[in-house]
């Protein structure tokens, strides 16, 4: 057994200990999957579960686990793929959107990512980690029960399993399992390409009308 496998087993056992589990069936240390139906049905327990997650390579490089910010009782859920909502520039754009355009209390919106690891390494191919991590966001949606989902950038493609160009579909209304969903342009893209701010503003006006 390798050192990494030992660390993964210890992490898994600590996770079970948090839930008060004293006995588990024999398991394989090579299992690398998490089924939605096996995840906790409590949002705080789910967060603890995610904090000890090691199902993909990102866990080897993560600085921290970023589960969510905001109000768990919110009707509005904003989802990114791996957007750093704590970054000063991104946070400023996000607050401007929520407070000054949508006229909402920033702390009353539930904000999260599909990928839960905040990582040092600039890993370019995130397809496998997204696939393995996706059940966490599906469980969050199930538990939060939002009336409106706002996706940012590629989060729309990852959640809806399609390859639509976000520049073509941003601001449009979609149905996600009976929940209204509106995709927006990626915040990092807007920061680096300020010429698209007007397009984002137009999309936000559509979103504001929908909320009214």
pLDDT tens-place string over residues 56-85: 877 777 777 779 999 999 999 999 998 777
pLDDT, tens only, 129-161: 889 899 999 999 999 999 999 999 999 999 999
What phi, psi does 152 have (nearest 5°)? -115, 125
Domains of the chain in start order, with CATH, are 66-211 (3.40.470.10)
Question: Can you state the angle between helices 3-18 and 43-51, rounded to 10 degrees?
Answer: 160
Question: Looking at the DSSP assignment, which residues form a beta bridge with residue 112?
Answer: 79
Is the per-residue pLDDT at 4 higher than 50? Answer: no
Model confidence band, residue 126 (pLDDT cutoffs 50, 70, 90)? confident
**For residue range 167-205, what is the model confidence (pLDDT) as tens digits?**
999 999 999 999 999 999 998 888 889 899 899 999 999
24 confidence band (pLDDT: 50, 70, 90): low
Residues 146/182, Cβ–Cβ less than 8 Å: no
Whether the model pTM is above 0.75: yes
Per-residue pLDDT band at 93 (split at 50, 70, 90)? confident
Pairing of strands 117-119, 62-65: antiparallel
Rg (the chain; Cα; Å): 18
State the sign of the Cα–Cα–Cα–Cα dihedral 42, 131, 27, 2: negative
Dump pLDDT digits (tens) for 32-42: 456 778 899 99
User: For residues 183 and 139, what is the distance between their CA atoms, to the nearest angstrom?
Assistant: 20
């Amino acid at each position: 057994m390798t050192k990494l496998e030992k660390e993964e087993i210890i992490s898994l056992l600590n996770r079970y200990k948090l839930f008060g589990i004293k006995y588990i069936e024999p398991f394989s240390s090579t299992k690398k999957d998490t089924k939605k139906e096996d995840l906790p049905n409590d949002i705080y327990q789910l967060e603890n579960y995610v904090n000890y997650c090691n199902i993909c390579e990102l866990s080897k490089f993560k600085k921290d686990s970023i589960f969510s910010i905001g109000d768990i009782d919110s009707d509005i859920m904003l989802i990114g793929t791996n957007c750093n909502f704590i970054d000063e520039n991104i946070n400023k754009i996000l607050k401007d959107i929520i407070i000054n355009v949508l006229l909402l209390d920033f702390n009353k919106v539930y904000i999260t990512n599909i990928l839960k690891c905040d990582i040092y390494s600039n890993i370019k191919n995130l397809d496998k980690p997204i696939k393995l991590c996706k059940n966490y966001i599906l469980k969050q949606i199930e538990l939060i029960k939002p009336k409106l989902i706002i996706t940012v950038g590629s989060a729309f493609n990852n959640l809806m399993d399609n390859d639509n160009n976000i520049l073509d579909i941003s601001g449009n209304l979609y149905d996600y399992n009976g929940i209204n969903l509106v995709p927006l342009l990626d915040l990092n893209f807007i920061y680096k390409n300020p010429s698209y701010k007007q397009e984002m503003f137009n999309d936000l006006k559509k979103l504001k009308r929908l909320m009214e």
